[in-house]
Amino acid sequence: MDTYCIGIDTGGTFTDAVAVRLADNSVAAQSKTRTTHNDLAVGVGTALKELFQSDIQPSQIAHLAVSTTLATNAVVEGHGARVGLFVLGYVRHFKLPVVANIFIKGGHTITGEEDEPLDMETLVDTLQELRKEVDSYAICGAMSIKNPTHELVAEKAISLIDPKPVFCSHLVSSHPGMQERAATACLHAKLMPLMVDFLSSIQRSMLSLGLECPVSIICGDGTDANLEETVERAAITMASGPAATARFGSFSTQESALIVDVGGTTTDICLLKNGLPVLSDEGCRIGPWQTHVEAVDMYTAAGGGDSQVLCMRDGELVLGKNRIQPLAITEDLPDPALWLQPKGDHYMVLPEAGRNNLTEDNNILIQALATHGSMPPSRLTEVTGIQGISLEKQVERLAFEQRLVLSGFTPTDALHVLGELQVGNSEISKKAATIYGRHLGISAETFCQQVVAKTVETIAESILTYLARSVWSPEHAAVMLHQQTNAYFSLNFSVHLPLIGIGAAAPFFLPQVAERLNTTVRFPEHYAVGNAVGAAIIGMQNVQERRQT
């Protein structure tokens, strides 16, 4: 009887699953379902059930390997737990995108001797004010890699006053770079709650199907880790998706190439040299976060099929950093003519599907939705009195917590209008495109062509940014790319590597990207579920190692 390894990839938009036959590495079954953000177990369970509709039985599964862009997407979109960072010792001040960056006396010298006593009074006083504002803490002491005493004392003090998760930098990095070590600790603190919920969803799905095989999560360096380690060090899953992407790419070619994974929320780019993934020398970098997390050399940028399309006052189209639910796949939406205003309301706020207890939620915005139904931001302001940035921040937070849904125009909607994609309601996308087109003085079709062109431009610029930073310093790369076109000359780049496209949305954008960059693109077999295949391949190595021991 055949045995299989299942690979699952939980992305911001789709959850993919494949069953790979251990005997010959062939894909025996595959499935693709929408990611259910309010309860990830639903999407994972649906993907697994579809696999088992073939002749494959749960008893034939030797291993389950999961890759996820959960951590990456959370960082790109600015989501995750609210973190308070304590930095101990005399160091040059730096700022990370967390709730609070607090510098207090303490730390050790390069030889591990105490530089100055830890300022416990300031630590305790600060905690009293901070505890209501954060969900977790990170601590980074000067030269704690030589002597972690102050970090451990601070950790104990925090735990006695506020029993929330605390992450010490010496446990997550052995490198001397203070800011990078602090960033690594902050990301563990930021991502732990997300990972706990995610892993619980995986276990619930397996339990409902009677699946009892070993489980591992793909790490950013292309290895895998068990569930316990993943919870304790959540940031090791940074670049989990790109690591699976790179492994799938190396499975499909022995040449040097750029792997480009076009997802719903982000585009991930990584490099193969002679068919092998390249690991980063400095650690994983996602957006503003430079860390010490070992990972494939990759670049993640906001921009995918479900990126929000914004029409600026000067008529310029911009892809927002947040994933938003396309109009075409959102049920029970009012006619866009009743609410869509390119200069004002450009999205609708809806209750999260499947939530039946809205009236029990004490949040004023949820109460408004329960009473009045779906509404745009301006109407929410009228009902609740909350406005401006405060409203935006609260809505973003509730969307991240899967307590409500934001729906607006996306590149996916543009593809529906242009007839390239038909997985939802094209009519509502056409109505919205007509409104945007009228605002810009163009047809709905021309507007959608511009949206696709903007998406192509965004992906191409991400590829150039990744390659430029590999050749020049980030500063020089920024200058060169920023000056591509000016009043006196234009620069055109030719990429000397072929592109390998991954992801269901890739064929809609990458051929134009390749043309723009004077290179070629190809889509290997099973490219639409490539990350899940890559996860399964890594999981199969785990099975083989167990059999050898």
pLDDT score of 300: 78
Query: What's the average model confidence in pLDDT over 328-355?
Result: 86
Q: Which of 27-31, 349-353, 423-427, 444-448 has the highest mean pLDDT?
A: 444-448
What is the strand order of the sheet 27-34 is part of? 27-34, 14-21, 4-10, 61-68, 215-218, 224-225
Pairwise CA distance, residues 43 & 20, whole Å = 20
4-10/14-21 β-pairing: antiparallel
Inform me whether the pLDDT recorded for 43 exceeds 80: yes
pLDDT score of 476: 63
- Out of 9-23, 293-307, 315-329, least confident range: 293-307
pLDDT score of 204: 86
pLDDT score of 250: 86
More reliable by pLDDT, 288 or 51: 51
* CATH number given to 4-75+195-253+527-548: 3.30.420.40
More reliable by pLDDT, 313 or 103: 103
Q: Which of 60-69, 313-322, 395-404 has the highest mean pLDDT?
A: 60-69
Backbone angles phi, psi at 113, to 5 degrees: -85, 150
Give the residue ranges of DSSP H helices in 60-170.
Answer: 70-76, 120-130, 149-161
pLDDT score of 488: 76
pLDDT score of 406: 92
All structural domains of the chain with their residue ranges: 4-75+195-253+527-548, 83-164, 347-407
Q: Give the length of the chain.
A: 549
Q: Sorting pLDDT into bands at 50, 70 and 90, what band is 430?
A: very high
- Out of 143-157, 179-193, 321-335, 348-362, least confident range: 348-362
Is residue 340 within 8 Å of 327, Cβ to Cβ? Answer: no
Query: What's the average model confidence in pLDDT over 334-341?
Result: 93
Backbone angles phi, psi at 262, to 5 degrees: -95, 105
Give the distance, in angstroms, between the CA of residue 444 and the centroid of all CA atoms in the same chain: 31
Pairwise CA distance, residues 444 & 247, whole Å = 40
pLDDT score of 518: 94
More reliable by pLDDT, 489 or 509: 509
Q: Sorting pLDDT into bands at 50, 70 and 90, what band is 199?
A: confident
pLDDT score of 359: 56
pLDDT score of 479: 62
Inform me whether the pLDDT recorded for 289 exceeds 80: no
Query: What's the average model confidence in pLDDT over 11-37?
Result: 86
84: alpha, beta or left? (left if phi > 0; alpha if psi -120 to 50)? beta
Inform me whether the pLDDT recorded for 533 exceeds 80: yes
Residue from 40, 108, 41, 49 nearest 74 by CA = 40
Q: What is the pLDDT of residues 47-100, one digit of tens each?
A: 899 998 878 888 999 999 998 877 777 776 777 889 999 999 988 898 888 999
Q: Sorting pLDDT into bands at 50, 70 and 90, what band is 499?
A: very high
More reliable by pLDDT, 11 or 258: 258
pLDDT score of 353: 63
Q: What are the tokens at 534?
A: 């890559």
Backbone angles phi, psi at 159, to 5 degrees: -65, -35
